[in-house]
Structure 1
């Protein structure tokens, strides 16, 4: 049994979609509404702001690298989030 409360990032599935990752805009505050477990080196966060959303990816190692998807309508980013959680997008 694990003590983790958030889902873990799954292994990419065959035929998964490769997302385009951009440098963080950092121009506005957002609300993080869901996230994957931070016990691993790769963490994803579902972020929403003003009717739009994006996914933030953090890679932890010797350095921390943060990237984000482009902004998109909330319904679309939630579909993308679901794909990330089952290994069909990364």
Structure 2
């Protein structure tokens, strides 16, 4: 799939002074969270913005040859999660 045919966003280049996010194994804190935004699946790493119960988090899925590995950020308020999502898309967080 070429970038021209993708309908979901791709991450910008990581900025030199980007914020490092802490990633951990999924812990089902927000069992009823639903994805509201995601990056394109044409890349090896896909990110999803999930929200539920007034909170949100970001899920990172690494698509590997032998399967995939899923990691999640901490839970934040929806406003903080959306700000972090925008920082991730623009290269100011990873």
TM-score, structure 2 normalization: 0.90
4+ residue runs over 4 A deviation? none
Root mean square deviation, CA, Å: 1.2
Deviations 1:9-28 (A, max 9, x none): 22211100110001001351
Structure 2 gaps, min length 5: none
**Which of 25, 28, 45 is the aligned partner of 2:27?**
25
Shift in Å, 1:29: 2.6
- Say how many residue pairs are matched: 90
Counterpart secondary structure, 2:80: helix
**Which of 82, 87, 90 is the aligned partner of 1:86?**
90
Comparing 59-68 and 44-53, the one that deviates more: 59-68
The residue number in structure 1 matching 2:80 is: 76
